[in-house]
Amino acid sequence: SRISGVLNQEATMGGLHEISPGRNMQFIPYASFRNFRALDTRDPSQPRFSQIDAQGKFGLDSKFVFHDSLVLDTTINPDFAQVESDEPQNTVNQRFEVFFPEKRPFFLENSNFFGDTSMGVYRLSQLLFTRRIVEPTFGARFTGKQGPWNLGFFVADDRSPGLLVPNFSSFAGKRAYFAVGRVSHDFGEQNNIGVIYTDREFAGFFNRVGGVDANFRLNKNWTSWFRTVVSSTACSPDEPGPTPPEPGSTCGAGPGYQFGSDTEAVLNNIGRRFSYELMFQDITPNFHTDTGFVPRTDIRNLSQYFHFYWRPEGKHLVFYGPEGQTQNYWDHNGVPVLQAYNFDWVFDFKPNLILAPIVAYETDTLRPVDFAGLPSNHRYVQRAVGFVIKGSPLRRLTFNTKVIRDGIVLIDVPVGLLPITGNETAITHTMSLKLTRHLVVDNTYILDRVVNGATHHAAFNNHIIRSKWNYQFTPALSLRLIAQYNGLLANPAQSSLTNTKNMNFDFLVTYLPHPGTAVYVGYNSNLENLVPGLCHQLPGSTVCIPNGPGLVRNNSFINDGRQFFVKISYLFRR
- Quick check: 245 pLDDT over 90? no
Q: Tell me the β-bridge partners of 184.
A: 150, 194
In a domain, 522, yes or no: yes
Mean pLDDT of all residues belonging to the chain: 91
Give domain status of residue 529, yes or no.
yes
Express as a percent the part of the chain with pLDDT over 90: 73
Q: Is residue 403 part of a domain?
A: no
Would you say residue 476 has pLDDT above 90? yes
Question: Above 90 in pLDDT, residue 403?
Answer: yes
- What confidence category does residue 23 fall into, taking pLDDT thresholds of 50, 70 and 90? low
Distances (CA, A) of 439 to 16, 311, 480, 524: 30, 36, 10, 21
For residues 294 and 283, the answer to whether their CB atoms sit within 8 Å is yes
Tell me what the mean pLDDT of segment 451-479 comes to: 95
**Residue 2 pLDDT greater than 80, yes or no:** no
The model's confidence at residue 212, banded by pLDDT at 50, 70 and 90, is very high
556: pLDDT strictly greater than 70: yes
Query: Considering Cα of 75, then 76, then 80, then 82, what sign does the dihedral take?
Result: negative
DSSP 162: H
Residues 6+ apart with CB under 8 A from 472: 438, 439, 478
- Pick from 32-46, 245-259, 336-350: least confident: 245-259
Higher pLDDT among residues 419 and 542, named by residue: 419
Query: Residue 508 falls within a domain, yes or no?
Result: yes
Looking at the chain, the number of H-run helices and the number of E-run strands are 2, 27
Residue 391 belongs to a domain:
no
User: 3-class DSSP state for residue 130?
Assistant: helix
Residue 447 Cα distances to 255, 288, 425, 461, 544, angstroms: 40, 33, 8, 7, 35
Does residue 513 sit within a domain?
yes
- The predicted model scores a pTM of 0.89
In this model, does residue 280 exceed pLDDT 50? Answer: yes
Distances (CA, A) of 504 to 79, 173, 354, 432, 510: 21, 29, 33, 20, 20
The range of the structural domain enclosing residue 533 comes to: 422-574
A 10 A CB-CB count for 107 gives 22
Rounded mean pLDDT of 206-213?
Answer: 96
Could you tell me if residue 25 is inside a domain? Answer: no
Domain count for the chain, please give it.
1
- Asked, for residue 137, whether it belongs to a domain, the answer is no
Q: Is the pLDDT of residue 541 over 90?
A: no
